[in-house]
Amino acid sequence: MHVAAFAPARIARLEDSGGVISEGFPLTSYYVDCFPAEITLPLLLAVYTGGGSEYEMRRCIFAISPKGERVGYLEFGWRWPDTPGIPIKYRVFAHQLRLRAPSGGIYRIGLYEHPEAPEPEFSFPIPVLKPNPLLAKP
């Protein structure tokens, strides 16, 4: 499986026709009024692979705090049948990852093959910060 896109967005949701509507992709920072904070990050994931392989898929997404703690988790799976006559298959997802942000800093959102995987297949850094009261809110 190859990842074509993986990152948080300001808005990400599935269309009824199977595509994704996304705004603010990739999201480069997230602001909260106070810590600790419970937040939900919309995530966009687009993957592809060759036909004839990878039919029953499972993946996990973890949010890792600046201190290395797992503070958010999402596990999902899908059936990925081949389409006769088409050598490649694609899939796109819009997930909502709930996480607990105990403090400000750079969080890492990682895509893992399974819950015990020591390293992510892909990851994306996202700063979670309090806005500067002397500046206009972003």
C-alpha angle 41-133-34 in degrees, rounded to nearest 5:
45
Domain presence at residue 138: no
In tens, the pLDDT along 13-47 reads 999 887 899 999 999 999 999 999 999 999 999 99
Domain presence at residue 42: yes
pTM of the model: 0.88
Name the residue range of residue 111's domain.
2-129
CATH of the domain at 52: 2.60.40.2550
As for how many domains the chain has, the answer is: 1
In tens, the pLDDT along 92-115 reads 999 999 999 999 999 999 999 999
Residue 138 has pLDDT above 60, yes or no: no
pLDDT at residue 21 in the model? 92
Domain presence at residue 136: no
